[in-house]
Amino acid sequence: MKTRKTEYRFLMPAIVVVAIMTQFPFLLTVIFSTLRWNLSRPDLPRTFNGFDNYLYFLKIESLQHIPEFYSILWQTVLITGVTLLLCSVVGFILALLLDHEIPGVNIARTLMLGPFFVMSTASGVIWKTTIFNTTFGWYGVIAKALGATPVDLVSYHPIGVIIVLFTWQWMPFFILVLLAGLQGIPQDLVDSMRIDGVSWLQGVFKIKLPLIMNHMRVAIMLGLVFLIKEFGLILVTTAGGPGTRSYTLPYAVYMQVFSANNVGRASALAVMTVVLTLILVNLLYRSIVKRNARYS
């Protein structure tokens, strides 16, 4: 009995703090999402309005008038999805490259890991001012030197810009995880591959890739969890623009609270963000579990 008490003494503080700071506020958010509550209108009563806040975003009255929410949802999924795809494909190729015995390969690996630890607001402003700027950035200067007219990428291809930056930041992590997987492949398997005369391409896709598929999935899942909540990078590069072309769900929530002051609608949007995250993670998680089951 006494030892059990100690265990709870170890466990409870963490649970209490985490619950107070995360679960409890989330429950409140769910409650807020059923209220009509605009901070800038204290003269209007704060009333319960059921699912009205959700319907405001979700209700499709006619096919010509599809609410903004769906495009924001699509943009969120698009940005996250393409980033993860790029990270896995290019990350895999780069991991294969870095899996070679080259003098000082660790230096190259370390350099490539760097962007993963850069705070997103800093990488956002740095890329925006020193690279993407049409007059003062490398992109502008190089484009002009090649005789092309640089376009304002941040305004004309906001989603592309965000995907490039997300990928730049997250690919290092993919490389790291995939490289760990590649290096975990037993050397005698690689040797026997060579003796059996398996071509390089076959070796990569038929043997190496399946062996590190689990690493890939875990990296994708983690990337998903972190990318879907990213906010700072969008704020400093495109600020959701032009228009709402690069809004993602977290950014839309932010705008609902701090620009529209509409607590009710913002909460509804936040709840839907959580639901989306859970759905996507669940899908991925299941595919991992299923695969593990098949292999063991």
Partner 1 sequence: MSERTLVQVQRTIRMRHLWKKVLMTALVYGIAIAYFFPILYMFLSGFKTEQQAVMPAIFFKPTLETYRKVLSDPTMYQYLRNSLFQVLVGTGVSLLLGVPASFALVFGRLKHPESNGKFYLWFITTILLPPVAVLIPLFTWYQQLNLINTPYGLMMAYVGFHTPIVVWMVHSFFSDLPGEIFEAAEIDGCSKLQQLTRIAIPLARTGIISAGLLVAVFIWNEFFLGFNLTGNPTATLPVYMSRFREQQGMFVAQLSASSTIAVLPAIILGWMTQKALVKGLTMGAVKG
Partner 2 sequence: MKRNAFVLVLIVSFLAIGTMAFAGGAQEASGPVTINIALANNPISQAMAKLVQSEYKAEGVVVNVSVLPENDLRQRLTTEASTGGTTYDIFYIGPYEAQTWARNGWLENLEPYFDKLSSEKAAWYDRDDLIKGMADSLALDGEAFGLPFYGESSFIMYNKELFAQKGLTMPMEPTWDQIYELAKKIHDPSKGIVGMTMRGAPGWGMSGAPFVTMVNAFGGRFYDMDWNATVDTPQQRGAWQMYKKILREAGQADILSYTYNECIALMASGNAGIYYDATSIAPPLEAADSKIKGKVGYVMAPHQALKSNTAWLWNWSMGINPKSSAAKKAAAFDFMLWATSKDYVKKTVDLDPTGSSTPPASRSSTYELPVYAKAPYASMTLKTLEGMDFTKPTLEPVPYVGLQYIAIPEFADAGTKMTEYLADYVVDKISLDEAIRKTQEVFEQVAIDGNYKK
Q: How far apart are CA 184 and CA 134, in angstroms?
A: 45
Q: Which does 289 bind (CB under 5 to 8 A by kind): partner 1, partner 2, none?
A: none
Nearer to partner 2, 39 or 207 (CB): 39
> Residue 181 interacts with partner 2 (CB under 8 A)?
no
Tokens 């204290």 found at = 42
Nearer to partner 2, 65 or 294 (CB): 65
β-pair partners for 48: 35
Site string for partner 2, 45-84 (x = CB under 8 A): --------------------x--x----------------
- Nearest distance from residue 116's CB to partner 1, in Å? 7
> Residue 259 interacts with partner 2 (CB under 8 A)?
yes
Nearer to partner 2, 152 or 191 (CB): 152
Nearer to partner 2, 155 or 282 (CB): 155
Angle between helices 249-258 and 68-98 (to 10 degrees): 130
Is the Cα torsion angle 108, 114, 116, 117 positive or negative in sign?
positive
Q: Which does 160 bind (CB under 5 to 8 A by kind): partner 2, partner 1, none?
A: none
For residues 262 and 188, is the Cβ–Cβ distance under 8 A? Answer: no
Nearer to partner 2, 15 or 107 (CB): 15
Q: How far apart are CA 12 and CA 10, in angstroms?
A: 6
Both tokens of 144, joined, read 């002009």
Tokens 């690919």 found at = 171
Nearer to partner 1, 64 or 296 (CB): 296
Nearer to partner 2, 205 or 258 (CB): 258
Q: Which stretch binds partner 2 (CB under 8 A): 36-44, 172-180, 182-190, 282-290?
A: 36-44
For residues 139 and 150, is the Cβ–Cβ distance under 8 A? Answer: yes
- Nearest distance from residue 128's CB to partner 1, in Å? 7
> Residue 260 interacts with partner 2 (CB under 8 A)?
yes
> Residue 191 interacts with partner 2 (CB under 8 A)?
no
- Nearest distance from residue 273's CB to partner 1, in Å? 6
String of DSSP letters for 69-120: HHHHHHHHHHHHHHHHHHHHHHHHHHHHHHTS--TTHHHHHHHHHGGGGS-H
Would you mind telling me the total number of residues written for the chain in this entry? 296
String of DSSP letters for 115-130: GGGS-HHHHHHHIIII
Cα angle 200-83-105, degrees, rounded to a multiple of 5:
45
- Nearest distance from residue 65's CB to partner 1, in Å? 26
Residues found near partner 2 in the complex (CB under 8 A): 38-44, 65, 68, 133-135, 150-152, 154-156, 239-245, 255, 257-262
